[in-house]
Amino acid sequence: MIHQANKCINVFGARSKKSFVFLFSKRKKQRDFVRFLKVLKMRWGKVLLFIDGAPGHKGALVKAFLRANRKTFRLVRFPSYTPELNPVEQCWMPGRRKLANRLVKTLPTMKYHLCNVFNNPKNMPKMFHYLSD
């Protein structure tokens, strides 16, 4: 979450071996999470998604969407208070470094810088080397 003049932007993110998919959102609500799940469905087809216990990741809207798409999604929840187990947490570091000690005057400018970082595969942590043959 990034704050600037009482405005903030949140980012949903998911990793595969080759890509990072992200979606900006004003709030991390169920409706926004379902919108992110739709992006993942279009991008990858079938998805095994590890999620934390954030309130936006659970509730009636999310359950209804997952029920309707049970052949597409499998969700696994991380134990509470274990961000170190979530590999997506490592993906936020390059974005934080890019924005550190920088005055960003508008949210669109911030999104621009974050998109450049997140879309550059060189900035993403090498997390999947253990899956290689």
SS3 assignment, position 131: helix
CA atoms within 13 A on the CB side of 19: 5
How far apart CA 85 and CA 73 sit, in angstroms, is: 20
Q: What is the CATH number of domain 2-131?
A: 3.30.420.10
Closest CA relative to residue 50, chosen from 11, 16, 21, 86: 86
Question: Contact at 8 Å (CB) between 88 and 15?
Answer: yes
Q: Residue 4's beta-bridge partner residues?
A: 7
Report the pLDDT value the prediction gives residue 3, as an integer from 0 to 100: 52
How far apart CA 47 and CA 32 sit, in angstroms, is: 17
How far apart CA 92 and CA 114 sit, in angstroms, is: 9
Residue boundaries of the structural domains of the chain = 2-131
The series of mean pLDDT values per 10 residues for the chain, 133 residues long, is: 64 87 92 96 92 90 96 90 81 88 86 92 72 46
Report the pLDDT value the prediction gives residue 90, as an integer from 0 to 100: 83
